[in-house]
């Protein structure tokens, strides 16, 4: 198979010829047709996460080995089945759930693979993903039928979509007229707006530093937007919401965004942290019990949530986010465009 892989962290991706995997056991080999380019790929490409205070967490130390074909927002066509794989036919087009674990523990068997603590085998992170002509799914249950959805859009649901769906579910239910603040107006933010609207929420306040992205958020259905490019962001959020709010979903999750998001919460409020921008958050501990606040991380989503999201989209409840399609061979260019902040919505790589 051909792959566009990270060979050296921070260096250009290289086109490699690798052996095409032979599916074993319950594995399913798919020919990749579409693969989204995600912000998480930037961290994998760089080789570390910023932990704040000048500290970095090395992905090599976490088991990420190079060369690696990144890409975890995958749609592919089933090419070959392992001897124990059932329930899917060769030629079927499927979304590939990428956040796989050991496959045998209680959490995996409950279809909460993203919470497995035995082994992390995520596609495009710990094993080759969709920046390649072929990919292996561990089990047919990790394959979701996109139905009539545009496969380029369906690919984004494997990360961007299911990540925001899972995060939004963590702040609901609250009254539809209560403001929910979404920090970040990129691909995740636009998906969050669509998911909230599809779930019946009526007040969505979006925060970003980029005026063009804020305009896109308004067009997508945000009821208000807040410019975070200058000091005083917390007060501007309070003004937009009419006071402190119950729920903030931080899709950026950097030092600055976490601080202004936490400061804007009211009693009983919840901050759900999703992004991997990096940094640290110092909390005034007495306020946590006095104001009954919650700060919760949200790590991607699980197969059950991905199926729910696809069903929601199939029913016409979700408008497609802006998608730019580029050939697989342009993976390096796509990654650099994302790094430089020149992407609205999502870039999706497509097979020739």
The answer, yes or no, to whether residue 56 has pLDDT greater than 90, is: no
Angle between helices 39-46 and 331-339 (to 10 degrees): 100
Crossing angle for the helix pair 233-241 and 255-263, to the nearest 10 degrees = 40
- In this predicted structure, what is the pLDDT of residue 341? 87
Structural domains present in the chain: 2-159+301-350 (3.90.180.10), 161-297 (3.40.50.720)
- Does a cis peptide bond (omega within 30 degrees of 0) precede residue 178? no
> Does residue 326 contact residue 302 with C-beta atoms inside 8 Å?
no
Token pair in block for residue 245: 């709010």
- pLDDT at 1 > cutoff 90: yes
Interval 128-134 mean pLDDT: 98
How confident is the model at residue 52, as a pLDDT?
A: 86
pLDDT surpasses 90 at 231? yes
Region 74-88: mean pLDDT is 98
Looking at per-residue pLDDT, the higher value among 54 and 213 belongs to: 213
Whether the pLDDT of residue 147 is over 90: the answer is: yes
What are the residues whose beta carbons fall under 8 Å from the beta carbon of 180, sequence distance 6 or more?
Answer: 168, 171, 174, 196, 201, 203, 204, 205, 245, 246, 247, 248, 249
- Model confidence pLDDT, tens digit, residues 107-124: 999 999 999 999 999 999
- How do residues 156-199 score in pLDDT, each as one tens digit? 999 999 999 999 999 999 999 999 999 999 889 999 999 999 99
Rounded to whole angstroms, the Cα distance separating 214 from 338 reads 17
Asked if 153 and 320 count as a contact pair (C-beta separation under 8 A), the reply is yes
Residue with token string 């669509």: 194
What is the distance in angstroms between the CA of the first residue and the CA of the last residue of the chain?
14
Cα separation, 21 vs 81, in Å, equals 11
Residue 182's closest CA among 272, 92, 80? 272
The average confidence (pLDDT) of the chain is 95
Dig out the tokens for 295 from the structure. 């700060």
Question: Is 90 exceeded by the pLDDT of residue 344?
Answer: no
């Amino acid at each position: 198979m051909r792959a566009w892989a990270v060979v050296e962290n921070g260096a250009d991706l290289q086109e490699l010829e690798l052996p095409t995997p032979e599916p074993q056991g319950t594995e399913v080999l798919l020919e990749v047709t579409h693969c989204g380019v995600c912000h998480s790929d930037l961290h994998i490409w760089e080789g570390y996460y910023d932990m704040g205070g000048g500290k970095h967490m090395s992905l090599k130390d976490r088991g990420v080995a190079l060369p690696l074909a990144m890409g975890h927002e995958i749609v592919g066509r089933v090419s070959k089945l392992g001897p124990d794989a059932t329930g899917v036919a060769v030629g079927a087009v499927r979304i590939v759930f990428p956040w796989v674990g050991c496959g045998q523990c209680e959490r995996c068997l409950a279809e909460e693979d993203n919470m497995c603590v035995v082994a992390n085998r995520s596609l495009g992170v710990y094993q080759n993903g969709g920046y390649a002509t072929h990919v292996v799914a561990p089990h047919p249950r990790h394959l979701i039928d996109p139905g009539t959805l545009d496969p380029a859009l369906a690919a984004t649901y494997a990360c961007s979509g299911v990540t925001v769906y899972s995060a939004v579910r963590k702040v609901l239910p609250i009254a539809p007229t209560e403001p929910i603040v979404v920090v970040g107006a990129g691909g995740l933010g636009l998906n969050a707006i669509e998911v909230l609207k599809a779930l019946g929420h009526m007040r969505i306040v979006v925060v970003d530093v980029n005026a063009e992205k804020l305009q896109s958020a308004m067009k997508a259905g945000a009821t208000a937007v807040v410019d975070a490019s200058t000091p005083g962001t917390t007060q501007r959020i309070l003004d937009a919401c009419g006071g402190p709010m119950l729920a903030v979903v931080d899709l950026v999750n950097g030092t600055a965004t976490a601080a202004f998001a936490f400061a804007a919460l009211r009693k009983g409020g919840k901050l759900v942290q999703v992004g991997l921008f990096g940094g640290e958050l110092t909390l005034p501990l007495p306020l946590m019990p006095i104001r009954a606040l919650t700060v919760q991380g949200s790590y991607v989503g699980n197969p059950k949530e991905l199926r729910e999201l696809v069903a929601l989209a199939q029913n016409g409840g979700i408008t497609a986010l802006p998608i730019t399609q580029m050939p697989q061979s342009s993976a390096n260019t796509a990654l650099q465009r994302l790094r430089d902040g020149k992407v609205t919505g999502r870039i999706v790589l497509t097979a020739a």
